[in-house]
Protein backbone atom coordinates (compact mmCIF):
# COMPACT_ATOMS: atom_id res chain seq x y z
CA UNK A 1 0.00 0.00 0.00
CA UNK A 2 1.46 3.34 -1.00
CA UNK A 3 1.41 6.34 1.29
CA UNK A 4 1.72 10.02 0.51
CA UNK A 5 2.43 10.82 4.16
CA UNK A 6 6.00 9.75 4.81
CA UNK A 7 8.28 10.67 7.72
CA UNK A 8 11.72 9.59 8.95
CA UNK A 9 12.02 9.05 12.70
CA UNK A 10 15.20 8.52 14.72
CA UNK A 11 14.88 6.17 17.72
CA UNK A 12 17.60 6.64 20.35
CA UNK A 13 17.95 5.93 24.04
CA UNK A 14 19.46 3.87 26.84
CA UNK A 15 20.92 0.43 26.03
CA UNK A 16 18.54 -2.43 26.90
CA UNK A 17 15.65 0.00 27.38
CA UNK A 18 13.42 -1.95 24.99
CA UNK A 19 13.60 0.10 21.79
CA UNK A 20 13.80 -2.86 19.41
CA UNK A 21 11.44 -4.92 21.59
CA UNK A 22 8.91 -2.10 21.29
CA UNK A 23 9.17 -2.14 17.49
CA UNK A 24 8.83 -5.91 17.41
CA UNK A 25 5.79 -5.65 19.66
CA UNK A 26 4.17 -3.32 17.12
CA UNK A 27 5.05 -5.84 14.42
CA UNK A 28 3.84 -9.07 16.04
CA UNK A 29 1.33 -7.73 18.58
CA UNK A 30 2.97 -9.71 21.35
CA UNK A 31 6.08 -9.69 23.52
CA UNK A 32 9.11 -11.52 22.17
CA UNK A 33 11.15 -13.11 24.94
CA UNK A 34 14.46 -13.18 23.09
CA UNK A 35 16.75 -10.21 23.59
CA UNK A 36 19.54 -9.35 21.19
CA UNK A 37 21.30 -5.98 21.53
CA UNK A 38 21.21 -3.78 18.44
CA UNK A 39 24.67 -3.17 17.01
CA UNK A 40 24.92 -0.03 14.90
CA UNK A 41 21.40 0.58 13.61
CA UNK A 42 18.42 -1.12 12.00
CA UNK A 43 15.74 0.37 9.77
CA UNK A 44 12.05 -0.50 9.69
CA UNK A 45 9.04 1.05 7.99
CA UNK A 46 5.85 1.21 10.03
CA UNK A 47 2.60 1.81 8.15
CA UNK A 48 -0.20 3.34 10.19
CA UNK A 49 -3.89 3.65 9.39
CA UNK A 50 -5.16 7.10 10.39
CA UNK A 51 -7.98 9.56 9.81
CA UNK A 52 -5.58 11.32 7.41
CA UNK A 53 -4.94 8.18 5.38
CA UNK A 54 -2.00 5.74 5.48
CA UNK A 55 1.13 7.12 7.14
CA UNK A 56 4.59 5.58 6.70
CA UNK A 57 7.18 6.10 9.43
CA UNK A 58 10.73 5.06 8.54
CA UNK A 59 12.21 4.20 11.94
CA UNK A 60 15.99 4.30 12.34
CA UNK A 61 16.56 2.15 15.43
CA UNK A 62 19.98 3.11 16.82
CA UNK A 63 21.79 0.82 19.27
CA UNK A 64 22.83 2.03 22.71
CA UNK A 65 26.40 2.79 21.67
CA UNK A 66 27.29 6.05 19.86
CA UNK A 67 27.48 5.95 16.08
CA UNK A 68 30.43 7.30 14.09
CA UNK A 69 30.13 11.08 13.72
CA UNK A 70 29.47 11.15 9.97
CA UNK A 71 26.71 8.53 10.29
CA UNK A 72 25.10 10.21 13.30
CA UNK A 73 25.19 13.61 11.59
CA UNK A 74 23.43 12.26 8.51
CA UNK A 75 20.78 10.52 10.61
CA UNK A 76 19.95 13.64 12.59
CA UNK A 77 19.87 15.89 9.54
CA UNK A 78 17.56 13.55 7.59
CA UNK A 79 15.09 12.95 10.44
CA UNK A 80 11.68 14.59 10.73
CA UNK A 81 11.27 13.52 14.34
CA UNK A 82 13.06 11.85 17.24
CA UNK A 83 11.94 9.39 19.91
CA UNK A 84 14.06 9.55 23.06
CA UNK A 85 13.66 6.17 24.80
CA UNK A 86 14.22 5.88 28.55
CA UNK A 87 14.10 3.03 31.05
CA UNK A 88 12.01 3.12 34.23
CA UNK A 89 14.17 0.38 35.77
CA UNK A 90 17.17 2.76 35.74
CA UNK A 91 17.75 5.79 37.94
CA UNK A 92 16.61 9.35 37.27
CA UNK A 93 20.27 10.27 36.71
CA UNK A 94 20.81 7.46 34.16
CA UNK A 95 17.84 8.61 32.09
CA UNK A 96 18.69 12.31 32.43
CA UNK A 97 22.26 11.75 31.26
CA UNK A 98 21.03 9.71 28.29
CA UNK A 99 18.45 12.31 27.25
CA UNK A 100 21.01 15.11 27.51
CA UNK A 101 23.60 13.16 25.54
CA UNK A 102 21.28 12.69 22.57
CA UNK A 103 19.85 16.20 22.93
CA UNK A 104 23.38 17.53 22.57
CA UNK A 105 23.87 15.41 19.47
CA UNK A 106 20.68 16.93 18.11
CA UNK A 107 21.96 20.46 18.79
CA UNK A 108 25.29 19.63 17.14
CA UNK A 109 23.98 17.92 14.01
CA UNK A 110 20.45 19.07 13.21
CA UNK A 111 19.91 22.43 11.51
CA UNK A 112 16.35 22.62 12.89
CA UNK A 113 17.19 21.37 16.37
CA UNK A 114 15.03 23.95 18.15
CA UNK A 115 11.76 22.97 16.51
CA UNK A 116 12.16 19.32 15.47
CA UNK A 117 9.25 17.11 16.52
CA UNK A 118 10.13 14.75 19.35
CA UNK A 119 8.74 12.62 22.18
CA UNK A 120 10.24 11.28 25.39
CA UNK A 121 9.30 7.70 26.30
CA UNK A 122 9.80 5.84 29.58
CA UNK A 123 9.44 2.08 29.16
CA UNK A 124 9.06 -0.66 31.85
CA UNK A 125 6.75 1.31 34.14
CA UNK A 126 5.46 -2.06 35.36
CA UNK A 127 8.67 -2.30 37.43
CA UNK A 128 8.65 -0.98 41.00
CA UNK A 129 11.64 1.36 41.23
CA UNK A 130 12.09 4.00 43.92
CA UNK A 131 15.27 5.34 42.32
CA UNK A 132 13.48 7.16 39.52
CA UNK A 133 11.33 10.28 39.67
CA UNK A 134 9.24 10.86 36.54
CA UNK A 135 8.24 14.28 37.82
CA UNK A 136 11.88 15.30 38.05
CA UNK A 137 12.53 14.16 34.48
CA UNK A 138 9.51 16.15 33.28
CA UNK A 139 10.60 19.32 35.08
CA UNK A 140 13.91 19.32 33.23
CA UNK A 141 13.42 21.24 29.98
CA UNK A 142 9.62 20.88 30.36
CA UNK A 143 9.60 17.32 29.05
CA UNK A 144 6.39 15.36 28.76
CA UNK A 145 7.24 11.75 29.58
CA UNK A 146 5.11 9.14 27.81
CA UNK A 147 5.05 6.17 30.16
CA UNK A 148 4.62 2.74 28.57
CA UNK A 149 5.09 -0.94 29.33
CA UNK A 150 5.84 -3.13 26.33
CA UNK A 151 5.70 -6.20 28.58
CA UNK A 152 2.13 -5.42 29.66
CA UNK A 153 1.05 -3.89 26.33
CA UNK A 154 0.35 -0.59 28.09
CA UNK A 155 0.13 2.58 25.95
CA UNK A 156 2.61 1.19 23.40
CA UNK A 157 1.02 3.08 20.48
CA UNK A 158 1.03 6.39 22.36
CA UNK A 159 4.55 7.51 21.30
CA UNK A 160 3.55 7.24 17.64
CA UNK A 161 0.20 8.91 18.29
CA UNK A 162 1.96 11.86 19.91
CA UNK A 163 4.55 12.15 17.14
CA UNK A 164 1.96 11.98 14.35
CA UNK A 165 -0.05 14.70 16.12
CA UNK A 166 3.05 16.90 16.00
CA UNK A 167 3.56 16.13 12.31
CA UNK A 168 -0.03 16.59 11.14
CA UNK A 169 -2.05 18.16 13.97
CA UNK A 170 -4.31 16.79 16.69
CA UNK A 171 -7.12 16.06 14.20
CA UNK A 172 -5.07 13.27 12.62
CA UNK A 173 -5.86 10.17 14.68
CA UNK A 174 -4.11 6.80 14.43
CA UNK A 175 -6.57 3.92 14.29
CA UNK A 176 -4.25 0.94 13.85
CA UNK A 177 -0.85 -0.33 12.77
CA UNK A 178 -1.16 -1.83 9.28
CA UNK A 179 2.25 -3.43 9.18
CA UNK A 180 5.95 -3.20 9.76
CA UNK A 181 8.77 -4.54 7.64
CA UNK A 182 12.53 -4.17 7.22
CA UNK A 183 13.06 -0.92 5.40
CA UNK A 184 14.55 -1.29 1.90
CA UNK A 185 17.79 0.54 1.47
CA UNK A 186 17.09 3.83 -0.35
CA UNK A 187 19.72 5.76 -2.27
CA UNK A 188 20.03 8.22 0.63
CA UNK A 189 21.41 5.38 2.79
CA UNK A 190 24.16 4.39 0.39
CA UNK A 191 26.44 6.95 2.04
CA UNK A 192 25.78 5.29 5.42
CA UNK A 193 26.71 1.89 4.02
CA UNK A 194 29.85 3.18 2.33
CA UNK A 195 30.91 4.98 5.49
CA UNK A 196 30.43 1.83 7.55
CA UNK A 197 32.37 -0.15 4.95
CA UNK A 198 35.23 2.34 5.21
CA UNK A 199 35.17 2.05 8.99
CA UNK A 200 35.25 -1.75 8.78
CA UNK A 201 38.05 -1.67 6.22
CA UNK A 202 40.08 0.68 8.42
CA UNK A 203 39.46 -1.59 11.39
CA UNK A 204 40.61 -4.65 9.46
CA UNK A 205 43.68 -2.79 8.22
CA UNK A 206 44.54 -1.71 11.76
CA UNK A 207 44.19 -5.32 12.94
CA UNK A 208 46.45 -6.49 10.11
CA UNK A 209 49.10 -3.90 10.95
CA UNK A 210 49.00 -4.86 14.62
CA UNK A 211 49.40 -8.54 13.73
CA UNK A 212 52.29 -7.74 11.39
CA UNK A 213 53.95 -5.63 14.08
CA UNK A 214 53.58 -8.44 16.64
CA UNK A 215 55.01 -10.94 14.13
CA UNK A 216 58.04 -8.78 13.44
CA UNK A 217 58.57 -8.17 17.15
CA UNK A 218 58.42 -11.93 17.79
CA UNK A 219 61.01 -12.59 15.06
CA UNK A 220 63.25 -9.89 16.49
CA UNK A 221 63.00 -11.28 20.01
CA UNK A 222 63.67 -14.82 18.81
CA UNK A 223 66.83 -13.53 17.13
CA UNK A 224 67.93 -11.89 20.38
CA UNK A 225 67.23 -15.04 22.41
CA UNK A 226 69.24 -17.21 19.98
CA UNK A 227 72.26 -14.99 20.61
| pLDDT on residue 110 | 75
Residue 127 has pLDDT above 80, yes or no: yes
Which CATH number fits the domain that encloses residue 37?
Answer: 3.40.50.300
Is the domain of 213 the same as that of 141?
A: no
Is the domain of 21 the same as that of 124?
A: yes
Range in 21-25, 38-42, 113-117, 185-189 the model is least confident about = 185-189
Rounded CA gap, 32 and 224, in Å? 59
Is the domain of 60 the same as that of 49?
A: yes
Residue 25: band (very low, low, confident or very high) from pLDDT cuts 50, 70, 90: confident
CB under 8 A, 24+ apart: contacts of 129-132: 129/88, 129/89, 129/90, 131/90, 131/91, 131/92, 132/88, 132/90, 132/91, 132/92, 132/95
Is the domain of 140 the same as that of 219?
A: no
Is the domain of 191 the same as that of 114?
A: no
Range in 58-72, 101-115, 176-190 the model is least confident about = 176-190
Average pLDDT over residues 136-153: 89
Is the domain of 9 the same as that of 94?
A: yes
Is the domain of 119 the same as that of 178?
A: yes
Is the domain of 180 the same as that of 191?
A: no
Rounded CA gap, 40 and 19, in Å? 13
pTM score: 0.75
Is the domain of 61 the same as that of 15?
A: yes
* Residue-range definition of the domain harbouring residue 203: 187-227
- 46-79 per-position pLDDT tens digit: 899 999 999 999 999 987 777 778 888 888 888 9
Q: Dihedral, CA atoms, 33, 35, 40, 44, nearest 10 degrees? A: 0
Residue 85 has pLDDT above 80, yes or no: yes
Is the domain of 147 the same as that of 203?
A: no
Is the domain of 112 the same as that of 219?
A: no
Residue 88 has pLDDT above 90, yes or no: yes
Domain boundary among 150, 167, 184: 184
Is the domain of 61 the same as that of 78?
A: yes
Report the number of distinct structural domains present in the chain.
Answer: 2
Amino acid sequence: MSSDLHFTVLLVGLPSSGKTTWLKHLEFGELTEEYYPTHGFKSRSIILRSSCGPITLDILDVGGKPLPTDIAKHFYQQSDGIIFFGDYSKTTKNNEQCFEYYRQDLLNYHIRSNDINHVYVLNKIDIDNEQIDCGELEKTRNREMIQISVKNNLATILPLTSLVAQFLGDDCKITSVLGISPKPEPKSQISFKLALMRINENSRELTRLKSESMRRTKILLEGVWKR
